[in-house]
Structure 1
Amino acid sequence: MADTTAISESNRQPTLAVLIDADNTPPAIVEGLFEEIAKYGTATIKRIYGDWTQPNLGGWKKVLLDHSIQPVQQFAYTTGKNATDSSLIIDAMDLLYTRELDGFCLVSSDSDFTRLAARLREAGLTVYGFGEQKTPKPLVAACDKFIYTEILRAGDDSAASKGGKAGKDKTSGNTPPLKFIARVIDDVSGEDDWAHLGVLGQNLSQRRPEFDTRLYGFRKLSELLNAQTGHFELKKGENGGLWVKNKNG
């Protein structure tokens, strides 16, 4: 008889706490945000922090109920001091010690959360960061994975949603880091110079948490590599997996 406990554990989705800094996050990303989070686990806790007496957060008020996000009121006690950041950090540490979670989603472009992200990772939890491309590098590097919110905006009709085109993406204005990809392929490939696509993807994200093919107009890593015919060669393995190597390696 099958061990139902083992089966249940293997099918369990990681539990995530989503903490949103309303002062530094536009409400236009909310649809794409939770669709993205669903790829990594189940958002069991969803909280958003801000001074809800202020008119600049009016856009968020309209979407809180639709997505079951709990607003946390934080008055600005002193001009020039961000009380919202402190409230979010205190809550995150409380959740770390009182709830059994697998990870956190920190939604903000504010570098003040850099130490928080690092502390959560030190505790063995996975940290997903979400912020605009202006987000300081220290915060990006402190997360296991960082997703730029420009690609999550509702109604996005960029090349990323259409499969992408070779070279520079006209919408994002970003050029794929081909030299970086080539270096990682060299590092993870075998004696025959071929690297498994899945292993490559994991290493790209580990070395640069912000790496995301959608920034360059492609839905998948395989599509990006296929478009760069002068740099990379792909093949399908015996078990159906994809392999890649540098053409000039």
Structure 2
Amino acid sequence: MVTDFPARNIALFIDADNAPAKSIEFILTDLANYGSLAIRRAYGNWKSDNLKQWEGCLCENAIQPIQQFDMTKGKNATDMAMTIDAMDILYQKNMAVFGFVSSDCDFAPLATRVRAEGKIVVGYGERKTPEAFTNACTTFSYVDDLGDDDEPRRKTNPVDGNTLKGDTKLLNLLRNSIEACADEEGWALLSRMGHSIRNQSSFDPRNYGYKGLGDLLSAIDLFEIQKNAGGGANRVRDLKKHP
């Protein structure tokens, strides 16, 4: 999670047809870590009963509803409208961070294009979201595991260490990032490691039930963690290479 860019402007785009309203408090709180939420828009057919869940939180959270009628049965114009607006803002406004809320893989090309312009892309969606979209984002957080509207917290228990050790893809990502950032003694600063990971994937330790990268590394128990004076993880090295 990023906490050192308070001056950056953020544009948030919500595909209300493919996102649960209960996730909005978590999303707004999380995005605030990246900077200032300058633009907040939610797209959908607001005449549809399917979006009733969103009505109460739009005004409360200063989110602008953008009406899109269903042109054809079974289809909607939300995806196209969101994409056009996002591209307009990309070139017309000074936005450093783009937040996309959807579980629809149709937004993968949009996320890829926005990242190509050097922007941070933060995605949110349900666990059914295809990897094509999650991997296109700088970071992607699942919102299935949140509490109720007035309690935006995760209910999921942390994934146990043995299960994490069996996740080859995760271990390769962590080990490659450590190696890329390590000094001559094998130590890698956690901050640099996190930056390296974000450049490779949409990894978010909270998707595994952990607050931060240091907590997840400690649970795996295959890495040596060195803590700072405040008790938080500061740097790490791979015990496989430095037993």
TM range (shorter): 0.7 to 0.9
Report Cα offsets for 1:38-78 as digits up to 9, x if no partner: 01111111010000111010000011111011101111111
Report Cα offsets for 1:109-128 as digits up to 9, x if no partner: 11111111122222332221
Asked if structure 2 preserves the Cα contact closer than 8 Å seen for 1:175 and 1:216, the reply is no
The whole-number CA distance in structure 2 between the counterparts of 1:167 and 1:112 is: 34
Structure 2: runs of 5 or more not aligned: none
Match in the other structure for 1:245: 237
The number of residue pairs the alignment matches comes to: 231
Cα separation, partners in 2 of 1:125 and 1:180, compared to 1, 3 Å: closer
Match in the other structure for 1:233: 224
Report Cα offsets for 1:199-240 as digits up to 9, x if no partner: 11111222121x1112222212112222233x1111246999
> Residue type matched to 2:155 in 1?
S
Cα separation, partners in 2 of 1:214 and 1:11, compared to 1, 3 Å: closer
Asked if structure 2 preserves the Cα contact closer than 8 Å seen for 1:159 and 1:218, the reply is no
The whole-number CA distance in structure 1 between the counterparts of 2:7 and 2:113 is: 23
The whole-number CA distance in structure 2 between the counterparts of 1:191 and 1:222 is: 21
Larger mean Cα displacement after TM superposition, 18-27 or 193-202:
193-202
- Aligned with 2:190 (options 197, 212, 223): 197
Asked if structure 2 preserves the Cα contact closer than 8 Å seen for 1:168 and 1:216, the reply is no
Match in the other structure for 1:7: none
The structural deviation recorded for 1:166 is: 4.8
Larger mean Cα displacement after TM superposition, 145-154 or 88-97:
145-154
The whole-number CA distance in structure 2 between the counterparts of 1:148 and 1:157 is: 10
Structure 1: runs of 5 or more not aligned: 1-9
Match in the other structure for 1:215: 207
The whole-number CA distance in structure 2 between the counterparts of 1:36 and 1:142 is: 19
Match in the other structure for 1:149: 143
Mapping 1:74-223, distance limit 5 Å: 74-154=68-148, 155=151, 156=153, 158=155, 164=158, 166-167=160-161, 177-209=170-202, 211-223=203-215
The whole-number CA distance in structure 1 between the counterparts of 2:216 and 2:109 is: 33
1:68 and 2:62 equivalent? Answer: yes
The whole-number CA distance in structure 1 between the counterparts of 2:119 and 2:94 is: 10
Structure 1 outlier segments of 4+, above 4 Å: 237-241
The structural deviation recorded for 1:103 is: 2.2
What secondary structure is seen at the aligned counterpart in 2 of 1:129? strand
Asked if structure 2 preserves the Cα contact closer than 8 Å seen for 1:129 and 1:146, the reply is yes
> Residue type matched to 2:19 in 1?
T
- Of structures 1 and 2, the larger Rg is shown by 1
Match in the other structure for 2:43: 49
Cα separation, partners in 2 of 1:73 and 1:184, compared to 1, 3 Å: same
The whole-number CA distance in structure 1 between the counterparts of 2:95 and 2:126 is: 26
The structural deviation recorded for 1:168 is: 6.0
The whole-number CA distance in structure 2 between the counterparts of 1:136 and 1:159 is: 21
Asked if structure 1 preserves the Cα contact closer than 8 Å seen for 2:6 and 2:34, the reply is no
The structural deviation recorded for 1:17 is: 0.8
The TM-score normalised by the length of structure 2 is 0.84
